[in-house]
Structure 1
Amino acid sequence: MPAPLSPEEIEHLARRRAGAKMGWYIHASVYLLVNLALFAMSDFGFGHRHWQRFPLFGWGIGLALHGISVFMLGKGSAFRERLVERERERLRREQERR
Structure 2
Amino acid sequence: MEKNEKYLRAERKVRALKGFYIHLIVFILVNIGLFFIDLIFSHDGMWFYYPLFGWGIGLIAHGISVLGFGRLFDEDWEKKKIEEFMNKD
- What range describes the TM-score normalised by the shorter chain of this pair? 0.7 to 0.9
CA drift of 1:44 comes to 1.4
State yes or no: 1:73 paired with 2:73: no
Find the structure with the greater CA-based Rg: 1
Equivalent position of 2:45 in the other structure: 49
Pair 1:30–1:48, CA change in 2 (3 A): farther
> Residue type matched to 1:32 in 2?
I
CA drift of 1:73 comes to 3.2
The unaligned stretches of length 5 or more in structure 2 are: none
Relative contact order higher in (CA < 8 Å, ≥ 6 apart): 2
> RMSD of the TM alignment (CA)?
2.0
Equivalent position of 1:12 in the other structure: 8
The unaligned stretches of length 5 or more in structure 1 are: none
* Aligned residue pairs, count: 78
State yes or no: 1:61 paired with 2:57: yes
TM-score, normalised to structure 1, is 0.70
State yes or no: 1:22 paired with 2:18: yes
> Residue type matched to 1:72 in 2?
G
- Structure number having the greater helix percentage: 2
Q: Percent identity?
A: 38
